[in-house]
Amino acid sequence: MHVEQGIRTNRIIIAIDGPAASGKSTTARKVARMLGYTYIDTGAMYRSVTLKAIRRNVIDDLRRSPESVVALLEDITIRFDGDHVYLDGTDVTEAIRDNRVSREVSFISSLKPVRDRLRQMQQELGKLRGVVMDGRDIGTIVFPDAELKIFLVADARERAERRYAELKAKSNGASGLPGIEELEEEIKERDRADAEREHAPLRKHPDATEIDTSDLSVEQQVRKVYELALALLKEDR
């Protein structure tokens, strides 16, 4: 339970972490809708900073002098409106899913000034609680006091197949889709980078409930998380 200005608000924070394409965003979005909570996709925030670096053509400069990333963060704004993400006032919902962004995002998100800035924004967004937030470090670093912490995992091949199906559905038959093998390699590489980085590496919090989604349908995984949330909310009454 969260008490604010003497009002018993009974709204919790649900932190969903896990490796790439493990089903975090689908699960988080649906659970948020079922509870009337706000969904916050922190991956979209890291992707937005990455897109900004790509658009400004500074990725190579940043590899040489990572501290110059502060210039990129100075006047940045990231805003969520329903399922849309706005970077500096422009809708980037589609652009942040680009493969170039996926390839560079682990590098950008390993930079401490980026993590410090986004963590601050995320803590602000979750201040009133009643949020489902997904990412890599939500239960460990951003909201270690989240009442419900979930760690979603799935077999790498299964995750590559899901990502492929997602890209295919979006491509409308356009050519140039990466193959499943290539996606699996990219996913494994990103997992490695996210788990081995110095700042806020991907880790399961000891209190987190681990759910393997390899053999679960979306409905089954959503139900598991929703039921855990309901049990906590009932306990609180």
Count of residues binding ligand CDP (CB under 6 A)?
Answer: 16
Q: Pick out residues in 185-204 that bind ligand CDP (CB under 6 A).
A: 190, 194
Q: Does 131 sit near ligand CDP (CB under 6 A)?
A: no
In the complex, least distance from residue 138 CB atom to ligand CDP, rounded to whole angstroms:
6
Strand, coil or helix: what is 89? coil
Q: Pick out residues in 6-65 that bind ligand CDP (CB under 6 A).
A: 20-21, 25, 42-43, 46-47
Select the residue interacting with ligand CDP from 26, 48, 106, 221 (CB under 6 A). Answer: 106
Strand, coil or helix: what is 152? strand
* 119-125, Cβ contacts within 8 angstroms, sequence gap of 24 or more: 119/200, 121/45, 121/78, 122/40, 122/42, 122/45, 125/38, 125/40, 125/80
Concatenate the DSSP letters of all residues of 10-67 into one string.
Answer: ---EEEEE-STTSSHHHHHHHHHHHHTPEEEEHHHHHHHHHHHHHHTT-HHHHHH-GG
In the complex, least distance from residue 205 CB atom to ligand CDP, rounded to whole angstroms:
13
Q: Does 205 sit near ligand CDP (CB under 6 A)?
A: no
In the complex, least distance from residue 122 CB atom to ligand CDP, rounded to whole angstroms:
8
Q: Which stretch binds ligand CDP (CB under 6 A): 7-15, 71-79, 102-110, 220-228?
A: 102-110
Q: Report how far residue 180's alpha carbon sits from residue 159's, in angstroms, rounded to the nearest whole number.
A: 10
Q: Report how far residue 50's alpha carbon sits from residue 55's, in angstroms, rounded to the nearest whole number.
A: 9
Q: Does 117 sit near ligand CDP (CB under 6 A)?
A: no
Q: Which stretch binds ligand CDP (CB under 6 A): 71-79, 84-92, 131-139, 174-182?
A: 131-139
Chain contacts with ligand CDP (rule: CB under 6 A) = 20-21, 25, 42-43, 46-47, 105-106, 109, 135-138, 190, 194
